[in-house]
Chain A
Amino acid sequence: MERREVSFRIQRYNPQVDQTPFYDNFKIAVEKGITILRVLNHIKEQLEPRLTFRAFCQAGICGSCAVRVNGISKLACTTQVWDELTGGGDDPILIEPLSNLPVIRDLLVDIDPVIEKLRQNQGWVVPSIPEEKMGFKEHAVSDDEFEVINAATDCILCGSCYSECSMMGVNPRYISPPVLLKTFRMNNDTRDTDGDERLRRVTADHGLWDCTHCYRCVEHCTKNIPIMDGIHRLREEAFERGMTGSEGARHAQAFFDDTRNTGRLREVTLPLRTKGVTGSFGMLPLALKMALKGRTPPLFVHRIAGIERIREIYRKLEK
């Protein structure tokens, strides 16, 4: 069995004693095939009983143990130590709490904000069957209808996408990817009756239109859910339902025009077209923050390959 010494650099913070977070280093012998969670458990049981983190099912289904490993949000229980070795295995593996959520202690964050946003945005089915008729008959749902939401029902609310989202980092009030995904899942459930109201809520300020399409949520989803597809579908739905009066919708209209013309988004001028000249000044702090995070959109947009295909799709859509 392959075995080696590995260093782990773990962020610590106990609000009762520490002014600011700091890092603790642990060097331990690890076998190939061991997960980050097994390492955390080992450290807690053998070396530092105060190390604090969440873990429950250990099988990648409960979503408790999401942490950042070498900067990326992942489930500790399904992440192999061997896959995280860098620098020929000599660099320490960095383990930190999720971003964008308040740290309670060490690796443990408060996920109440996620739940609260789900509640505000009505992340539940409002069934078409009245209460008194429940339990007698199942809705007929075709496999194709179910397939639309199938992947979205995989979400385990681990918070990884919330932590990775670039918009969350600049605007804590932003609705967040898991809540948009849940909205998509509900609005495309053929048994649901409350799509309009849900959409009205998610298209309010800090909502659906604020997503920057950075795709980090999709890239780092621990369940490989195509979250952006859901967000796109919701935007289309907002148009179909005629929710086009708002600033966000104008933004989306601009987006729609851009994609048709160049196959890409000219994000730099997007605020101008959406908010008008004066309105755009309000966006400056956001732009600055985004620039600091290295996420400013490119100034010159190149046409992407396959633009003809995209134009074709739009022509069809418009018909």
Chain B
Amino acid sequence: MEHTFDIVIVGAGGGGLFAALEAIRTDPKVSVAVVSKVYPTRSHTSAAQGGVNAALGNKDRDDTVELHVFDTVKGSDYLADQDAVAYLCSQAPQVVRELENLGAPFSRFPDGSIAQRPFGGTVKDRCCYCADKTGHTILHTLFEQCLRRGVKFFNEYFLLSLEHDGGECQGIIAMNMRTGAIETFSAQIVILATGGHAKMYWNRSSNAAGNTGDGQAAALRAGISLKDMEFIQFHPTGLRKSGLLVTEGARGEGGYLLNRHGERFMARYAPQKMELGPRDVVARSMETEIIKGNGFDSDAGSYIELDLRHLGAEAIKKKLPQIRELSMHFEGIDPIEEPIPVRPTAHYSMGGIDTTMAKTAVRGIYAIGECACVSVHGANRLGGNSLLDILVFGKRAGQEAACEAPQRKALGITPAAVRRAADEIRSYASHERYERYGIIREELGRTMGDNVGIYRTGERLRQGVDAIRQLRRRFRHIRLYDTGTVYNTNLIQILELKNMLDLALCVAVTALERQESRGSHYREDFPLRDDAIWHKHSLCTMGEDGDIQLGNRAITMGMYPLEARSY
């Protein structure tokens, strides 16, 4: 089947939906399609608990956009592009209010204004929230508004490839998961909004099963570069057994982190901000405590305790109901009565498709949200800035796409490209193949956790790079056991694994290359930040042979000069 639209958006998370909505609001005449491998409301935006940052000044009256910019730049360890950060923070109050105007049910202060709570790494309390279901309510609100505007959805379609003629966008090729049919979507504009890739750490990750970076991998294979891939954020508080997330809001509301001596050890690492230091600092401090033997021991590994008991039953039930539910379901613990066992978990990908204010190097191809790297998060994202990122740049991409689409020609997708996609899928079912999906994926997760984790060294990273290369070779023999065409989840798993392997290699090689410590990237063999050499973005491109080539890009500075980062 061949589809033709002015704008095709891949991904129906908060970023993709806001882009779709905005494109239609900007110009109701443009035709917009949203293609997503899961039903829109299943997208991982739904998992965001804590909130979204905006300097509304409802809590701290003296909060300003400039302070938000400062926190973000400092949080990024000065790797973010300051023009992009300035745009992000200046648009924040407007997009949050707009979302509220469209029906998002934010929690309120007694005067009726949007409530704000403290979040990590900020000098003012500016995180707007809806209890601990912020992402869920934002996603549903955007989905509702898209239904209202008649946005056309192609749900359960899987992106196979991104097509362009060398300089201009042609569209995408996707598989209809219900029928197995390969379908083309010609479009003047494609907006990639496929979410993050931190699931490559598998059960050491807080991410949904499908956060496999499909858009990033498609872009990489289409010759578009990826930026700052070595930066993966580890969230301090993943549940011990599952890696599932306990929001930073739990510490924002006053939760303590305790080691097995009952000590609030953050006093030794971030004496001022304590538990609310930025994520990289808190996660590393916890890991250090565990390595020193100060963690609690259990069958499921060592852990730290997150103690909420002193907040009281009332506050826990009202402000952190989901956390309570998760703790009960997955750890069998009621946080009103017992501390929650936690340890750091791979959580967010700061790196992604290289964009300048949402645009890639190919005309007509945009990327936004967690799959993109603008870069506003640099080496470490602040909690609450990612929802903001998807809203602000989703909106911008939607507006620009609606203006740009009518000025561009539809180029169409070549039959050769469709044949390539079909051949690849057919090849997986060959009887000569023997490698199993589960085993390769398991080994990838382990390698990433062990060799490309929170603490990194040149030696371990080299082992990691070798191991991933080896796994990519083995992947060539992977066997598709399900040969049906109706909703073949076995095939989807294999396609996702291929994407994770390509991206994992990018993460590992850039981490090995960067011989300094900055934000989430911590090298035991190079423990200091080295601005003279490494104050620059890293770039990855894929060569003809499928290997990764490296490059660099200067950072755009602005109001805030380089400074040492302490909390």
Chain A residues at the B interface, C-beta cutoff of 8 Å: 1, 14-17, 33, 35, 44-46, 49-50, 52-64, 78, 80, 104-105, 108, 111-112, 115, 118-119, 122-127, 129, 131, 134-143, 146, 149-150, 153-157, 186, 189, 191-192
Please give, as numbers and ranges, the residues of chain A lying within 8 Å of B98 by CB-CB distance: 134-135
Give per-residue flags for B25-55: 1 if the beta carbon is below 8 A from chain A beta carbons, else 0: 1000000000000110111101100000000
List which B463-503 residues lie within 8 A (CB) of chain A: 481-482, 484-490
- Which of B101, B130, B136, B147 contacts A118, CB < 8 Å? B147
In the complex, B555 has a CB within 8 A of chain A: no
Give per-residue flags for B127-151: 1 if the beta carbon is below 8 A from chain A beta carbons, else 0: 0001101001100110011011000
Contact A49 B329 (CB under 8 A): no
For the complex of A and B, list the 5 residue pairs with the smallest distance between their C-beta atoms, beginning with the closest: A125-B103, A140-B112, A124-B144, A45-B438, A135-B98
- Which of A15, A78, A189 contacts B486, CB < 8 Å? A15
Please give, as numbers and ranges, the residues of chain A lying within 8 Å of B486 by CB-CB distance: 14-16, 104-105
In the complex the two chains form, what is the Cα distance from A108 to B39 in whole Å? 13
- Which of B209, B332, B488 contacts A33, CB < 8 Å? B332
In the complex, B455 has a CB within 8 A of chain A: no
In the complex, B17 has a CB within 8 A of chain A: no
Give the distance to chain A from B476, nearest Cβ to Cβ, in Å: 19
Give the distance to chain B from A147, nearest Cβ to Cβ, in Å: 10
Please give, as numbers and ranges, the residues of chain A lying within 8 Å of B269 by CB-CB distance: none
In the complex, besides A44-B490, A78-B329, A122-B148, 20 extra interface pairs with C-beta distance below 8 angstroms are A50-B481, A52-B488, A52-B489, A58-B209, A61-B133, A61-B136, A63-B42, A64-B38, A104-B487, A105-B487, A112-B155, A123-B147, A127-B102, A131-B25, A134-B97, A136-B97, A138-B114, A139-B101, A142-B112, A153-B133
Contact B484 A50 (CB under 8 A): yes
Please give, as numbers and ranges, the residues of chain B lying within 8 Å of A141 by CB-CB distance: 108, 112
List which B66-116 residues lie within 8 A (CB) of chain A: 94-95, 97-98, 100-103, 105-108, 110-114
Contact A150 B485 (CB under 8 A): no
Contact status of A154 and B133, CB under 8 A, knowing A16-B485, A49-B490, A61-B46: yes
Give the distance to chain B from A41, nearest Cβ to Cβ, in Å: 9
Please give, as numbers and ranges, the residues of chain A lying within 8 Å of B44 by CB-CB distance: 56-57, 62
Please give, as numbers and ranges, the residues of chain B lying within 8 Å of A55 by CB-CB distance: 209
Contact status of A57 and B94, CB under 8 A, knowing A138-B114, A143-B110: no
- Which of B136, B244, B437 contacts A49, CB < 8 Å? B437
In the complex, B242 has a CB within 8 A of chain A: yes
Give the distance to chain A from B190, nearest Cβ to Cβ, in Å: 23
In the complex the two chains form, what is the Cα distance from A78 to B327 in whole Å? 11
Can you name 28 A-B residue pairings with CB atoms under 8 Å? A16-B485, A44-B489, A45-B438, A46-B438, A54-B42, A59-B242, A59-B330, A61-B133, A62-B42, A104-B178, A105-B484, A112-B155, A119-B147, A125-B144, A125-B145, A127-B103, A131-B25, A134-B98, A135-B98, A138-B113, A139-B101, A140-B112, A146-B105, A149-B105, A150-B105, A153-B133, A153-B137, A154-B136
In the complex, residue of chain B having the shortest beta-carbon distance to the beta carbon of A144: B108
List which B414-456 residues lie within 8 A (CB) of chain A: 437-438
Contact A52 B105 (CB under 8 A): no
Contact B482 A191 (CB under 8 A): no
In the complex, B270 has a CB within 8 A of chain A: no
Please give, as numbers and ranges, the residues of chain B lying within 8 Å of A33 by CB-CB distance: 241, 332
In the complex, B299 has a CB within 8 A of chain A: yes
Give the distance to chain B from A316, nearest Cβ to Cβ, in Å: 29
Contact A111 B39 (CB under 8 A): yes
Contact A189 B41 (CB under 8 A): no
Contact status of A189 and B103, CB under 8 A, knowing A52-B487, A136-B97, A142-B108: yes
In the complex the two chains form, what is the Cα distance from A33 to B298 in whole Å? 14
Contact B42 A58 (CB under 8 A): no
List which B312-348 residues lie within 8 A (CB) of chain A: 322, 325-326, 329-330, 332
Give the distance to chain B from A101, nearest Cβ to Cβ, in Å: 13
In the complex, B11 has a CB within 8 A of chain A: no
Give the distance to chain B from A35, nearest Cβ to Cβ, in Å: 8
In the complex, residue of chain B having the shortest beta-carbon distance to the beta carbon of A126: B148
Please give, as numbers and ranges, the residues of chain A lying within 8 Å of B56 by CB-CB distance: 138
In the complex the two chains form, what is the Cα distance from A129 to B99 in whole Å? 12
Contact A135 B95 (CB under 8 A): yes
Contact A57 B113 (CB under 8 A): no
In the complex the two chains form, what is the Cα distance from A9 to B133 in whole Å? 34
Give the distance to chain B from A156, nearest Cβ to Cβ, in Å: 7
In the complex, B193 has a CB within 8 A of chain A: no
Please give, as numbers and ranges, the residues of chain B lying within 8 Å of A105 by CB-CB distance: 484, 486-487
In the complex, B210 has a CB within 8 A of chain A: yes
In the complex, B283 has a CB within 8 A of chain A: no
Give per-residue flags for B235-268: 1 if the beta carbon is below 8 A from chain A beta carbons, else 0: 0000001101100000000000000000000000
Please give, as numbers and ranges, the residues of chain B lying within 8 Å of A186 by CB-CB distance: 103
Give the distance to chain B from A105, nearest Cβ to Cβ, in Å: 5
- Which of A52, A80, A143 contacts B108, CB < 8 Å? A143
In the complex, residue of chain B having the shortest beta-carbon distance to the beta carbon of A127: B101
In the complex the two chains form, what is the Cα distance from A126 to B147 in whole Å? 12
Contact B47 A129 (CB under 8 A): no
In the complex, B208 has a CB within 8 A of chain A: yes
Give the distance to chain A from B36, nearest Cβ to Cβ, in Å: 11
In the complex the two chains form, what is the Cα distance from A131 to B106 in whole Å? 20
In the complex, residue of chain A having the shortest beta-carbon distance to the beta carbon of B109: A143
Contact B41 A61 (CB under 8 A): no
Contact B112 A136 (CB under 8 A): no
In the complex the two chains form, what is the Cα distance from A16 to B47 in whole Å? 35
